[in-house]
């Protein structure tokens, strides 16, 4: 009975291939992630469909079938013998004989081809490798970072390294190779297509990611792609070029298109896949429209083998209170849409953080020296999305709609993961709530160039809705602090993304090991009017925050190349006396000016009290790390500079800044400087420096001012005040904190204060 059933199955299989369905008639691949590859290969008769009009992309492939695909695709010459288990009557005898002659298949230790055995992904890698070597010297290898690399068999390991280097194998969305997984017909089609693409045997107009239609489809992983579609008829997307940039723990792959015909484009489209080391991928989409008409576009994520979804929305936890801020005005950005969980049964297949659509106009002021100040004027933050499912095909689709307005820039972002972005729903909910309450300190408008955040009104060019790449906000201290507490995947992704943002701002300097100083790219109108200082320039406090972020990230994520990142900034501080960027106080003490412009005429600005305290503490922390006496000497000179000045204002508060004309100006921060003073006393004790009486006097003065004027004091500062003997000043007005983070995990540096 088994023989009869087996023979009948074989006959049906032969009949299916005897009457192949054309690419145009395949009815079960419309929403499949490998649709383009399958259609191209069927059009070339390398693979074929079944007589019922299906392709069956999820059906497993045998070793013999995959060998046949290779032989047909490479048009290998016929062989004169096969293997003992492949008789001349076999329908695959011709292809297997050709493969044996070419060396694509060698048989096992018993000389058998095992043509009917399922082909694993390891087998696929080995066969692809042999096929590539037939066509050239494709011997370069890529160190494997797949989470399951140790499970790859010795016979296939080098092949996987080579095929990963040449892009024939990309791994899964959760950064696995799955060496023993049986390849499906859909996956086999993609493997064969990528091989032909690498060998230059694919018509360029049909390549994945390349298009002259109204839709571009770009592969993300073996079973995942993203589509960008122009919804306005008659506006095609024409492929232009592709570029790759390596960052620390991530890689950017940029796809560039003309909007409209290449001969007369209306604008441009850039799609960037930022692939993180854990397999997650940011997708950044950017339209620049040079024309005047308004168009519509969509970013589409199809999901195979999915039957349900859920959407955790930020708006479920309240709305952002976009109050007017004394420095920044009103920030019109809010938060992402939320996390889409795509499921098969109860199991999560993918999770996607969906961002919103941001419309803006680039504004810039050009200066006679050839430099410029650059900002973005935000026009609108938009939320338009749809999630749909097709139960019959077990597919789901997520879509983000984008406005493409004339003379404007339109951007959106999403983060795709094969794992839950939050392991614990309570952590997710807490982060959503925090994003709403602290929205002004958590980045929402993410792009491949870096996060854009609200800037003060006092910028050039002047716009109330001015946004820019602020170094202090690009560094991901707020995410790193949260990640240390709960180790959630989404927060780690944001930390890695912040590394890429800083690297992009430094034009690759961070990855190159230069540990660069990060320049501010927009002009402060106040600095320009007082000192003639224009962008680009170095803001010392922003660079301090960036250096601390890099050092702390290196320790937490174990990144050896960044563990000395703080030394570059410490060396910069030591060098400022030599270049004259200081404000002398006495013969042996001084303050470092807050801003420094490299090249051109020297511009000496002012020194802020909080900047100077931060610099001093940074140098002392670096001295503890290195025992370099130069850091200790400079820190002592800055300490003496602060102590030899009277920072008390007539109203009882402290002054904000001191300039070279011996003039104090400005309103001080409510908590930041007080925190700096308290933490300074702590690090004095750690480095053998006596407690400063002048600093104690300023701590008392500042605290009394806040108490008398009923100003808020954050819990971390209250805790420090109590620890250092100033509790009697705040005990009556401010209740003791019971929150664990305030009592046990008190912020240790300015980076953590900013996160708080």
In tens, the pLDDT along 338-392 reads: 999 999 888 999 999 999 999 999 999 999 988 999 999 999 999 999 998 876 6
- How far apart CA 473 and CA 522 sit, in angstroms, is 14
pLDDT of residue 461: 94
pLDDT of residue 392: 67
Judge if 199 and 232 occupy the same domain. no
pLDDT of residue 601: 63
For residue 374, tell me if it sits in a domain. yes
pLDDT band (50, 70, 90) for residue 600: low
Judge if 335 and 421 occupy the same domain. yes
More confident site: 656 or 105: 656
Burial of residue 524 (CB within 10 Å: 0-12, 13-18, 19+) is buried
Mean per-residue pLDDT, 397-412: 96
Domain boundary among 449, 480, 514: 449
pLDDT band (50, 70, 90) for residue 34: confident
Domain boundary among 171, 188, 205: 205
Starting at the edge strand that comes first in sequence, how are the strands of the sheet with 595-596 ordered? 519-520, 537-539, 595-596
Q: How many structural domains does the chain have?
A: 3
Mean per-residue pLDDT, 47-72: 90
Judge if 291 and 354 occupy the same domain. yes
Taking CA atoms, 227 is separated from 97, 600, 731, in Å, by 40, 47, 59
Mean per-residue pLDDT, 570-598: 94
Residue 660 pLDDT > 90, yes or no?
A: no
Poorest-confidence range of 117-121, 133-137, 750-754? 750-754
Contact criterion met (CB below 8 Å) for 695 and 681? yes
Cis status of the peptide bond prior to 471, with omega within 30 of 0: no
Question: What tens digit of pLDDT does each residue of 548-569 get?
Answer: 999 999 999 999 989 888 899 9
Domain boundary among 713, 731, 747: 713
Q: What is the number of other CB atoms lying within 10 angstroms of the CB of residue 24?
A: 8
Tokens of 522: 């927009």
Q: Residue 123 CA to chain centroid, in angstroms?
A: 33
pLDDT band (50, 70, 90) for residue 17: very low
pLDDT band (50, 70, 90) for residue 127: very high
Contact criterion met (CB below 8 Å) for 267 and 259? yes
Q: What value does the mean pLDDT of the chain take?
A: 88
Question: What tens digit of pLDDT does each residue of 286-340 get?
Answer: 999 999 999 999 999 998 888 899 999 999 999 999 888 878 889 999 999 999 9
Judge if 180 and 262 occupy the same domain. no
Judge if 179 and 296 occupy the same domain. no
- Three-state DSSP at 220 gives strand
Judge if 304 and 391 occupy the same domain. yes
For residue 328, tell me if it sits in a domain. yes
Q: Is the pTM higher than 0.95?
A: no
For residue 7, tell me if it sits in a domain. no
- How far apart CA 672 and CA 658 sit, in angstroms, is 17
pLDDT band (50, 70, 90) for residue 268: very high
Residue 254 pLDDT > 90, yes or no?
A: yes
Judge if 68 and 114 occupy the same domain. yes
Judge if 199 and 305 occupy the same domain. no
For residue 527, tell me if it sits in a domain. no
Judge if 221 and 196 occupy the same domain. no
Residue 655: which of 690, 612, 616, 621 has the closest Cα? 612
pLDDT of residue 752: 44
Residue 577 pLDDT > 90, yes or no?
A: yes
For residue 402, tell me if it sits in a domain. yes
Domain span at 100: 18-205
**Using N-to-C axis directions, what is the helix angle for 489-505 and 477-486, rounded to 10°?**
160
pLDDT of residue 425: 96
Cβ partners under 8 Å of residue 296, min gap 6: 230, 231, 232, 401, 402, 403, 404
- How far apart CA 647 and CA 148 sit, in angstroms, is 60
């Amino acid at each position: 009975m088994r023989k009869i059933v087996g023979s009948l199955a074989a006959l049906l299989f032969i009949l299916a291939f005897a009457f192949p369905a054309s690419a145009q008639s395949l009815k079960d691949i419309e929403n499949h992630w490998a649709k383009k590859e399958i259609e191209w290969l069927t059009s070339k008769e390398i693979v074929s469909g079944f007589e019922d009009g299906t392709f069956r992309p999820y059906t497993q492939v045998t070793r013999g079938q995959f060998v046949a695909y290779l032989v047909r695709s490479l048009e290998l010459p016929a062989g004169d013998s096969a293997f003992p288990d492949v008789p001349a009557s076999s329908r695959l005898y011709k292809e297997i004989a050709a493969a044996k002659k070419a060396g694509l298949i060698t048989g096992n230790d018993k000389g058998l081809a095992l043509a009917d055995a399922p082909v694993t992904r390891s087998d696929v890698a080995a066969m692809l490798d042999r096929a590539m070597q037939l066509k050239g010297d494709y011997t370069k290898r890529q160190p494997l970072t797949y989470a399951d690399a140790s499970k790859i068999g010795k016979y296939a390991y080098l092949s996987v390294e080579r095929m990963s280097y040449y892009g024939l194998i990309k791994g899964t969305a959760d950064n696995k190779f799955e060496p023993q997984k049986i390849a499906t017909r859909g996956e086999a089609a993609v493997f064969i297509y990528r091989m032909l693409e690498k060998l230059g045997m694919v018509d360029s107009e049909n390549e994945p990611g390349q298009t002259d239609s109204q839709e571009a489809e770009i592969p993300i992983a073996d079973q995942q792609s993203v589509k960008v579609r122009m919804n306005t008829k008659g506006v095609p997307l024409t492929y232009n070029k592709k570029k790759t940039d390596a960052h620390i723990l991530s890689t950017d792959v940029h796809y560039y298109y003309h909007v409209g015909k290449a001969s007369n484009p209306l604008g441009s489209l850039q799609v960037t896949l930022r692939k993180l080391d854990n397999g997650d991928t940011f997708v950044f989409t950017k339209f620049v429209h040079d024309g005047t008409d308004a168009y519509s576009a969509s970013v589409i994520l199809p999901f195979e083998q999915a039957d349900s979804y859920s959407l955790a929305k930020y708006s479920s936890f309240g709305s952002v209170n976009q109050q007017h801020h004394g420095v920044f005005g009103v920030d019109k950005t809010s938060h992402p849409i939320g996390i889409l969980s795509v499921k098969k049964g109860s199991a999560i297949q993918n999770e996607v953080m969906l961002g919103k659509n941001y419309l803006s106009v680039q504004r810039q002021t050009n200066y006679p020296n050839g430099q410029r100040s650059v900002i973005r004027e935000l026009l609108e933050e938009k939320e338009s999305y749809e999630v749909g499912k097709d139960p019959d095909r077990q597919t789901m689709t997520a879509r983000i709609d984008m406005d493409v307005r004339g003379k404007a820039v339109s951007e959106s972002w999403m983060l795709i993961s094969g794992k839950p972005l939050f392991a614990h729903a309570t952590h997710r909910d807490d982060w959503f709530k925090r994003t709403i309450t602290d929205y002004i300190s958590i980045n929402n408008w993410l792009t491949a160039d870096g996060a854009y955040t609200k800037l003060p009104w006092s910028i050039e060019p002047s716009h109330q809705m001015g946004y820019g790449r602020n170094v202090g906000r690009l560094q991901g201290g707020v995410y790193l602090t949260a990640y240390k507490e709960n180790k959630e995947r989404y927060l780690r992704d944001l930390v890695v993304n912040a590394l890429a943002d800083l690297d992009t701002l430094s034009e690759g300097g961070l990855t190159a090991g230069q540990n660069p100083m990060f320049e501010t790219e927009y002009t402060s109108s106040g600095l320009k009017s007082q000192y003639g200082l224009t962008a680009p320039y170095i803001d010392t406090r922003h660079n301090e925050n960036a250096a601390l972020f890099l050092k702390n990230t290196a320790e937490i994520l174990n990144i050896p190349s960044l563990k000395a990142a703080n030394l570059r900034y410490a060396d910069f501080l030591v060098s400022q006396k030599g270049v004259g960027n200081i404000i002398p106080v006495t013969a042996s003490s001084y303050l470092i000016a807050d801003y420094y412009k490299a090249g051109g005429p020297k511009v000496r600005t002012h020194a802020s009290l909080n900047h100077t305290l931060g610099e001093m503490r940074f140098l002392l922390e670096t001295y503890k790390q290195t025992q370099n006496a130069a850091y200790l000497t400079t820190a002592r000179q800055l300490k003496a500079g602060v102590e030899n000045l009277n920072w008390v204002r007539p109203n009882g508060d402290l002054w904000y800044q001191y300039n070279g004309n011996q003039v104090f100006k400005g309103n001080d921060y409510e908590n930041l400087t007080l925190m700096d003073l308290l933490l300074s006393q702590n690090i004095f004790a750690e480095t053998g420096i006596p407690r400063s009486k002048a600093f104690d006097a300023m701590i008392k003065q500042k605290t009394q001012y806040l108490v008398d004027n009923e100003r808020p004091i954050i819990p971390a500062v209250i805790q420090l005040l109590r620890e250092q003997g100033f509790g009697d000043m705040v005990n009556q007005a401010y209740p003791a904190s019971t929150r664990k983070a305030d009592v046990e995990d008190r912020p240790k540096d300015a980076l953590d204060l900013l996160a708080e």
